[in-house]
Structure 1
Amino acid sequence: MKRSIVALMTATACLVAGCSQKTEPAATNTSTEATSMNASEMTAGNDQAAAAATTGGQVFANTVAASDAFEIASSKLAADNGASAGVKKFATQMISAHTESTAKLKTTASALSPAVTPDPTLSADQQAKLDALKAAKGSEFDTAYAADQVAAHEQALQLLQDYGASGDVPELKQFATGLAPKVAAHLNMAKGLKP
């Protein structure tokens, strides 16, 4: 019985750790030391598998968090600096919608095992667009904001659709699938903005 357990643990550790295809005879040492070593190898392998499984989920969560942060920051600027009533109204809707999205993402990510902590750090491109908006005034601001909103929502929709189809964390896939229709609606609204 001990040999079967040791062999099973060794095979599992190799499978998880990605051992080569070279086959070696199963360990026949049934000492406590050998069993203990194989159990710790298996635990390390499981830890590596868990870390690998959350990597894609972490990247997805970070990208969504940064997208929300950009939407909120740029829309706050639009609510204050926008020249047209349509831009200001859209901006207010985006602040609310993306604040809600961020809260849902945090709730979903914190419930994962291991938990994922979304990092809302803007990309260099997002920061550059935000800086350009800060310098713009009047109709120039509205035009730039509208263009940024279309581009940001196109990128967000593509991200959600891709992750919803082939993401590696089921709960985040469900989040992506549930959010995609809202982002598609926002994209249509952004395309209809008249600066």
Structure 2
Amino acid sequence: MIAMRTALLALPLLAVAACNSNVEQDVEGTVDRAENAATNTIDNVTQSLTPTPSGQEFANTAARSDAFEIAAAKLAATNAQSAEVKEFAQKMIEAHTQSTARIKEAAGASQPQITPDATLSRDQEEDLNELKALKGAKFDEEYIDGQVDAHEDALALMRKYATDGTVTPLKAAAGELVPVIEQHLAHARRLDRD
């Protein structure tokens, strides 16, 4: 009889625990959607105020962004502590290698042809040097913070060029990359919250 009472008392607790798990997932989903909506609104305003880069400027900025992402992700292989951060970094190497190839292809199809310059900016070099000096949890924190910032910038660039760009092959490539970058940004934000 005592065992039956204990089992009956445990059922509501199990139900509450299951509900809490569902509530937590619902809250995370709501936060993700709200963050995306706010970002889209801010990005739309920013995009309308930002001048459209030339085809060469766009190609250079995209190439630098990819080169930075790959270099930072390679550091994560040795300096990161979290398995999730290392997994994310590996995905960034693969995705940004593909992005580089897509931008080069589009630049080569442009008339006149455009050659992207992937030379990192001074700020990117400084960011990489700071990351090189970090290990473990501190690296994870700084790397993911940087990934959120870098993907916000990349998303704004791609959206702007996909909408207002003047070089058709690059404009098409930018449009193709927008949803990929949105996924990366959402993933980086989730890791940043954890």
Asked if Structure 1 and Structure 2 have the same fold, meaning a TM-score greater than 0.5 normalized by the shorter chain, the answer is yes
Counterpart in the other structure of 1:131: 129
**3-state SS in 2 of match to 1:192:** helix
Q: What corresponds to 1:48 in structure 2? A: none
Deviations 1:134-157 (A, max 9, x none): 011111100000000000000000
Any unmatched runs of 5+ in structure 1? 1-54
CA distance in 1, matches of 2:94, 2:105: 17
Aligned to 2:114: 116
> Which position in structure 1 is the counterpart of 2:96?
98
- Asked if structure 1 preserves the Cα contact closer than 8 Å seen for 2:104 and 2:115, the reply is yes
Q: How does 1:169-184 map to 2 (within 5 A)?
A: 169-184=167-182
Q: CA RMSD in A?
A: 1.2
Normalising by structure 2, what TM-score? Answer: 0.71
Distance in 1, Cα, partners of 2:187 & 2:126: 23
**Aligned positions of 1:5-84 closer than 5 A:** 56-84=54-82
Q: TM-score, normalization: structure 1?
A: 0.70
Q: Are the aligned partners of 2:110 and 2:170 in contact in 1 as well (CA < 8 Å)? A: no
Please give the per-residue CA displacement for 1:6-39, whole angstroms capped at 9, x wherever unaligned. xxxxxxxxxxxxxxxxxxxxxxxxxxxxxxxxxx
Q: Give the secondary structure class of the aligned counterpart of 1:193.
A: helix
Cα distance per residue 1:164-186 (max 9 Å; x no partner): 11111111111111100000000
The alpha carbon displacement at 1:82 in A equals: 0.7
Letter in 1 for 2:130: A
Separation in structure 1 between the aligned mates of residue 154 and residue 121 of structure 2, nearest angstrom? 13
**Superposed CA offset, 1:104-161 (max 9, x none):** 1111111212110000011111111111000111111000000000000000000001
Runs of 4+ with deviation above 2 angstroms: none
Greater helix percent: which structure?
A: 2
Q: Work out which of the two has the higher radius of gyration on C-alpha atoms and give 1 or 2.
A: 1
Partner of 2:183: 185
Paired position in structure 2 for 1:149: 147
Which 5+ residue runs of structure 2 have no aligned equivalent?
A: 1-52
Q: Which AA in structure 1 matches 2:96?
A: H
The aligned counterpart of 1:36 is none
- For 1:127 and 1:175, locate their aligned partners in 2 and report how far apart those are by CA, in whole Å: 26
Residue 93 of structure 2 is aligned to residue 88 of structure 1: no
Q: How many residues matched? A: 141
% identical aligned pairs? 52
* Aligned mates of 1:101, 1:81 — CA distance in 2: 24
SS at match of 1:113: coil
How many angstroms apart in 2 are the aligned matches of 1:80 and 1:110? 35
Distance 1:120 1:88 in 2: 24
